[in-house]
Amino acid sequence: MLKHRSHYLDAIAPNPSVSPGFEPRVAPRPANDQDTPVASAARSLQADIARAFAAKNGWSVGQTVAAGVIFHLGVFCALGLAAGAALAQLARG
């Protein structure tokens, strides 16, 4: 996973040794049947993560939904605690 993440970061980071120069713009054109979809680094990272989760035996949609619900409950509890603390600070003046 980290190997792929470093490839992703290398792909999106600008090359420091190359000075920015003038590059003429290419006019956009409509896609045709011979065009292939672009496999961006983010999309390939997303596919790698999906493959890693799918590789686990017995991983089902129900478990995915349960993990998502637990994650969101944790986030909402943290937001609620932060909002409560902010309101307490505002009430003290």
* Cα 49 from Cα 1, distance rounded (Å): 8
- Residue that wins the pLDDT comparison between 17 and 72: 72
Taking 80 as the threshold, does the pLDDT of residue 68 lie above it?
Answer: yes
pLDDT value, residue 72: 96
Mean pLDDT of the chain: 79
More confident residue, 65 or 58: 65
What pLDDT score does 86 carry?
94
Q: What is the pTM of this model?
A: 0.39
Calculate mean pLDDT across residues 63-69: 88
Give the per-residue SS3 of 3-64. Answer: HHHHHHHHHHCCCCCCCCCCCCCCCCCCCCCCCCCCCCHHHHHHHHHHHHHHHCCCCCHHHH
